[in-house]
Chains A and B, each alone.
Chain A
Amino acid sequence: DARVTQTPRHKVTEMGQEVTMRCQPILGHNTVFWYRQTMMQGLELLAYFRNRAPLDDSGMPKDRFSAEMPDATLATLKIQPSEPRDSAVYFCASGPVGNSPLHFGNGTRLTVT
């Protein structure tokens, strides 16, 4: 079964440190989404890409978050500097263009102390 792969699965870091989360979308999927899940807000859309181009990152705090797709097999989400309020589970999802379901990875659980 093809699946979205996210690394690392868990990350604990101190406030102020840079965090990089990686995602390998399913081969052939040309849309990639980043979501954040917290107890307070549920699943929030941070950013999404189509054919590696960012389409919408309005859900992302611009001053500290950045999302990129260096190539079709890698999407990254960076936080610099990280803050305790960034603690959450970050999910990557990919899908084909058109009305088709997104496939989610198992997330990166980030804890910022």
Chain B
Amino acid sequence: GESVGLHLPTLSVQEGDNSIINCAYSNSASDYFIWYKQESGKGPQFIIDIRSNMDKRQGQRVTVLLNKTVKHLSLQIAATQPGDSAVYFCAENMGGSGNTGKLIFGQGTTLQVKP
């Protein structure tokens, strides 16, 4: 039967294209943000993080953009590969004051990469 639960937004992209996953966060006092990737049967895996004193950070094939004015975070994946298919979560540190406090997760976005 039909499963009932969160309807995760899904982003479907062609292999080799760039992907952009968006996230709105809730607390204007949050000072640290993380993107995680979760594959089936595994725990969330760290991808990249950014502190609130930055608006952009780049890693290998990934870039995180932070817009504090509108409380928006995005993850850009360059040259998306089939191995990038997973659920992506943004998380905000609501503890503030530079301490590891509550990491609160967004609902997640499913990325599907078509070969």
**Shortest distance between the CB of B65 and any CB in chain A (Å):** 18
Q: Which of A63-71, A79-87, A92-100 contacts B (4 or more CB under 8 A)?
A: A92-100
B100 close to A100 (CB less than 8 A): yes
B41 close to A106 (CB less than 8 A): yes
Assuming A103-B46, A107-B43, is B98 touching A45 (CB within 8 A)? no
A97 close to B105 (CB less than 8 A): no
Q: Which residues of chain A are near B93, meaning CB under 8 Å? A: 99
We find that the number of chain A residues with CB closer than 8 angstroms to chain B is: 29
Interface string of A30-44 (1 = CB under 8 A from B): 010101001111110
* Contact-residue size bin, chain B (C-beta under 8 Å from the other chain): 20 to 34
B102 close to A56 (CB less than 8 A): yes
- Assess whether B5 is interfacial by the CB under 8 Å rule: yes
A101 close to B43 (CB less than 8 A): no
Q: Which residues of chain B are near A33, meaning CB under 8 Å? A: 103
B46 close to A101 (CB less than 8 A): yes
Q: Which residues of chain A are near B41, meaning CB under 8 Å? A: 106
Q: Which residues of chain A are near B69, meaning CB under 8 Å? A: none
Q: Which residues of B contact A (CB under 8 A)?
A: 3-6, 31-32, 34, 36, 41-46, 49, 51, 89, 93, 98-100, 102-108
A104 close to B4 (CB less than 8 A): no
A97 close to B4 (CB less than 8 A): no
Q: How far is the CA of A38 from the CA of B102 in the complex (A)?
A: 19
Q: How far is the CA of A73 from the CA of B25 in the complex (A)?
A: 33
B100 close to A96 (CB less than 8 A): yes
B34 close to A106 (CB less than 8 A): no
Q: Which residues of chain A are near B49, meaning CB under 8 Å? A: 99-101
Q: How far is the CA of A31 from the CA of B43 in the complex (A)?
A: 17
Most chain A CB atoms below 10 A, which of B3, B102, B108: B102
Q: How far is the CA of A105 from the CA of B104 in the complex (A)?
A: 17
**Shortest distance between the CB of B55 and any CB in chain A (Å):** 16
Q: How far is the CA of A40 from the CA of B99 in the complex (A)?
A: 30
